[in-house]
Structure 1
Amino acid sequence: MNMRKISVLCGSVLVWGVVAVSGFTSCDDSMSFTTDRSALLSFSADTVRFDTVISTVGSSTRQLMVYNRNADGLRIASVRLKQAYATPFRVNVDGSYLEPESGARAYDFEVRTGDSIRVFAEVTMPENGQDAPVALNDTLIFALESGAEQHVILTAVGQDAYMWRGRVIEADTLLEAGRPIVVYDSLSVKEGVTLSMAAGVQLYFHDGANLWVHGRIVAEGTVDRPVVFRGDRTDRMFDYLPYDNTPSRWGGIRLKATSTDNRLNHVDIHSASYGIACDSSSTDAMKLTLENSVIHNVGGEGLGLYHCRASVGNTQISNTLGHCVAVVGGWAEFVHCTLAQFYPWDAERGDALYLANKWLALDYPLQHAHFLNCLVTGYADDVVTGNLEDENKDVDYYFGNCVLRTVEAEDDASRFVGVVYEKKDEEGSGQEQFRLFDTDNYLYDFRLKDISIARGKGSTEWAARYPTDRYGTDRLTEPVPDAGCYEFVPEE
């Protein structure tokens, strides 16, 4: 048989033994390709953006979808990166890697009508020798068979950082503001040594890394330039959700038994597995003074005080899987603090405040646990709980001019003076009293709205100890200050 005489036409059926279907796909309109210059590709984005990435550390992967929404197929003659050899970006187009050594170019792609291909991009930013972040761009150029060219911008911001691996601070050290410090394998402060941190210092901890303090830490931030303790993931879990808004990105800060006289002012601790854990030590010496600070969104306890001495003022501790604050024995005083338990990631969350005089079958006398002008709230009906055995022995707790989301105390009114009990669904209570409560994007602003029941519930006596709130707003201009760490200010 002369195969040249067999004619295959669209719409015809040919049966010759077993004939592969693929042999006839040329009859499908999807296999017709156009060279019309007006027929172009469509992209899921015109710019592929990378969040700020640490220089020399590879980024996460971004995806770009390339669609053909034309009536005919399109052939892509080449895809290339404009900077070729000099590009910091790594790109894979439909399984073909754009090798920088080969000019960062790949050839011959087909996109049938209604079909698409995937592009994956990563970046490793070079060191720029500066403290400030530096942006770099490149262009991904699609050259069609028709001669038309289409461009997609790749952009990233690189931040130089100091890399510390298993660093031990063995002599008194002052950290100045500048490029962040990325901590791998934890950072330790030796007994008898002080690590000081100036305003604007940023410590980025890798997954599982902790700050172990056997000696002493002193952090002196400001309203505008806090000292920041956070995870090192600077990218996003989803387009709307930075990893920095999620908990358990790093370990936390642990003040060991030998550590005393730690002073933290205007610090921001967030996205950790726990906030600050204070190991048992003598209550004769102040272990921790924490002021004008935030501990937020952690996967364990926010502040754990275990038979030690601590003073906390003008501080927000919020959204923790464990208790926001746990006081187990010892001496602790909280003035103008906001304890807000709205942890969104697990319904089995802890309480806003937990008091106990026993832990792991051991007795820890609760010598002094006083809460003055504080706001303690959360999702649950009762967020103030504890385990206090024999309250008449070695137990001293007191709430003065606080707003508490708990069952009203009836048995010992002398411990609850000027207290307002927040009730479920009461106007201005719970989450409704705060400026921003976005559970879709995990964004929160615990400053008060005008309707908050915490307004005007404080005492000028206690406010005199902190005459301005965490943001520096004067508390004493109003006849009666608000409870919590924020004084109400009308929104602009």
Structure 2
Amino acid sequence: MRYFLSILAVIIITTVSSCRKDFTTIASFGQLEFSRDTVFLDTVFTNIGSATYNLKVYNRSNKAITIPQITLENGTASNYRLNVDGKPGKSFENIDLLANDSMYVFIETTIDFSNIPDPLYTDRILFDNGNNQQDVDLVTLVQDATFIFPDKDPISMKIDSLSLDGEPTTIKGRFLEDSELIFTKDKPYVIYGYAAIPSNKTLIIEAGAKIHFHDNSGLIVDRDATLKVNGTLDEKVVFEGDRLESSFSRIPGQWGTIWMRAGSKENEVNHAQIKNGVIGFLVDSLGSATTPTLKLQNTEVYNHVNFGILGSQTNIEGNNVVIGSAGQASFAGTAGGTYNFTHSTFANYWSNSLRRLPTVLINNFSVNQNDMGQEIIETQDLQEATFTNCIIEGNNNIEFVLDKIDGSLFNYNLSNCLIRFNDINGLYTNNDELKFDDVTHYQNIILNGTPGFKSVFFNEFIIGEESDAINKATPTTISLDILGTDRTSNPDIGAYQHISFQ
């Protein structure tokens, strides 16, 4: 009992001591220093909260000071929120700051576009008062947007889930109405949950449109439905997350995927950027169609947690396509199908975790489970896998793999390609599909050459004057590169004609 009382006494004394101000201060004298004189909170969508920004406040003097007041100039009406010394609010009084010490002020905002007179919203943090008053500006650009939300049950208020093929799923979202089947560039689109294109309908996305997805959101193209993305060289269509702050510009996994379900048809994507999701395009198909399920032209796919493009027993055609880093493979054509790429660049320099798959993976089988939980391997025909004038590169030794199981067709051909394949451990010595001197399947292959990319970190895969891909392509009908540069004569391998980085 005595021991317990002794411990209790220590706790009480410590608590009282920690609450007592055991140092003296002088009033602030107007010479605080700040880590910056303006805090730019980047761009936010209407009614979507910003990231948290910080401002560091310094007392460079040899005296402990008391700042009489820290407040937002617009007071309680301000759309900014502060946290000072661990306390949230919009106004604070008598804040102590020790000699030669500093403290953080954290800033956030949520702004309703309809309630502000100008999309550039500003305020100031005021420090002290009277002649000693100092200030730091706050600036935020607010964008209006068209929001697409899932429906809610009017009684339970639970978010509705999609039904596909007449069966309920756990996917939160809804089908688009006829009035929503044209996306324009007038305002950005912000999608919560999955927006689905109904069967026998077409979603047209016009040049310059910006589509932003919230966490666990994406786009579904249902059976017999179609997606048409009509970007241009000057007005690309962009698919990305809904966090506009610069710190989110290269963070993968901010949204889900664009899923083209089995039976969707004639999907075309022109001059688009798809970035920072889990899977860029997930493309399924009912067998091998005679026409592409997905046709990509002049399109970039960057920074996805799993795959840039994952195709399963489908038909994909790509011209001037660039697929960057992904946590598994940049492009995987699985369970057979038809895959044709010309003047495309596959470059996987993923650095967020260990990557076990190559940049490009092609196989002719699927692995499923039977009712007993046993794995069942089924082969499907690889009708065609053709890569012409392509770069297949990355930060692993093996970046191209053909994985064949006997029992179905396995047709492939690569010509005039630069490929990273350095089998230092002899893992693929017995793989007959990876014999690059086999001229029936490989022509004019450059193994382990120098691609000469401008910046793999910034997904700048244009090639420079030192690239081994220069003048090594075979002429095709794809006469312009992804930037509109003529390549009629002396074409380079990949999606870009080379330039000087000087």
Match of 1:109 in 2: 95
Q: Which has the larger radius of gyration?
A: 1
Q: Is this contact kept in 1: 2:364–2:410, CA < 8 A?
A: yes
Match of 2:31 among 29, 32, 40: 40
* Displacement of 1:370: 0.8
2 CA distance for matches of 1:449 and 1:295? Answer: 21
Aligned to 1:199: 207
TM-score (norm 1): 0.84
Give aligned pairs, total: 441
Q: 2:190 and 2:240 mapped to 1: Cα distance?
A: 10
Letter in 2 for 1:380: N
- Aligned twin of 1:141: 126
Aligned residue for 1:308, secondary structure, equals strand
Quote how far apart the aligned CAs of 1:97 are.
Answer: 4.2
Preserved CA contact (<8 Å) 2:53 2:108: yes
Partner of 2:446: 420
Counterpart of 2:244 (choices 227, 234, 239) is: 234
1:31 deviation in Å?
Answer: 2.2
Is 1:249 the counterpart of 2:259? The answer is no
Partner of residue 74, structure 2:
83
* CA distance, structure 2, for counterparts of residue 294 and residue 21 of structure 1: 61
1:389-426 CA-to-partner distances (Å, cap 9, x unmatched) read 239x5121001111111267256321001211125xxx
Measured against aligned partners, the alpha-carbon deviations of 1:171-198 in whole angstroms (never above 9, x if no partner) come to 3822111211111111101111100000
| Superposition CA RMSD, Å | 2.7
Give the direction of change, closer, same or farther, for the CA distance of 1:158–1:413 in structure 2 (3 Å limit).
same
Match 2:220 to one of 198, 212, 232? 212
- The Cα offsets for residues 316-370 of structure 1, whole Å up to 9 and x where unpaired, read as 0110112111122111210000011111211224211111111111111011111
Aligned residue number for residue 161 of structure 1: 145
Stretches of structure 1 that go unaligned for 5 or more consecutive residues are: 1-17, 100-104, 237-241
Deviates more, 1:161-170 or 1:266-275: 161-170
Partner deviation per Cα, 1:447-472 (whole Å, 9 max, x = no partner): 00110111111011x2xx21000010
C-alpha contact (below 8 Å) 1:135/1:155 kept by paired residues? yes
Q: How far has the Cα of 1:210 moved from its partner?
A: 1.9
Q: CA deviation at 1:234?
A: 1.8
Structure 1 residues 22 and 165, CA, compared in 2 at 3 Å: closer, same or farther? closer
Q: Write the distance in 2 (CA, Å) between the matches of 1:249 and 1:209.
A: 9
Match of residue 12 from structure 1: none
User: Within 2, Cα distance between the matches of 1:117 and 1:411?
Assistant: 65
1:148 Cα deviation (Å)? 0.7
Deviation larger for 117-126 or 263-272: 117-126
Gaps of 5+ in 2: 1-12, 151-173, 368-376, 423-433
Give 3-state SS (helix, strand or coil) of 1:245's partner.
coil
CA gap 1:110/1:256 in 2 versus in 1, 3 angstroms = same
Contact 2:328–2:357 at 8 Å: present in 1 too?
yes
Q: Does the residue aligned with 1:78 lie in a helix, a strand or coil?
A: strand
For 2:122, the aligned partner's letter is N
Bigger Cα displacement from structure 2, 159-168 vs 410-419: 410-419
2:500 matches 1:490: yes
Shift of 1:134: 2.2
Q: Does 1:68 align with 2:59?
A: yes
CA distance in 2, matches of 1:191, 1:177: 25
Matching of residue 340 in structure 1 with residue 347 in structure 2:
yes
What residue number does 2:359 align with?
352
Q: What does 1:158-307 correspond to in 2, within 5 Å?
A: 158-166=142-150, 167-171=174-178, 173-214=181-222, 215-235=225-245, 242-282=247-287, 283-307=289-313
Say which SS state the counterpart of residue 295 (structure 1) adopts.
strand
What's 1:119 paired with? Answer: 105
CA distance in 2, matches of 1:331, 1:209: 28
CA gap 1:365/1:129 in 2 versus in 1, 3 angstroms: farther
> Is the contact between residue 302 and residue 459 of structure 2 (CA under 8 Å) also seen in structure 1?
no
| Aligned partner letter, 2:453 | F
Q: Secondary structure at the match of 1:412?
A: coil
- Corresponding residue for 1:14? none
Q: Pick from 444, 453, 462 the counterpart of residue 434 of structure 1.
A: 453
Give the percent of matched residue pairs that are identical in Structure 1 and Structure 2. Answer: 28
How has the CA–CA distance of structure 1 residues 133 and 338 changed in structure 2, closer, same or farther, with 3 Å as cutoff? Answer: farther
CA contact 2:257–2:277 (8 Å) conserved in 1: yes
Whether the aligned pair in 2 keeps the contact of 1:324 and 1:350 (CA below 8 Å) is no
Counterpart-to-counterpart distance in 1, 2:92 and 2:351? 46
Tell me which moved more, 169-178 or 396-405. 169-178
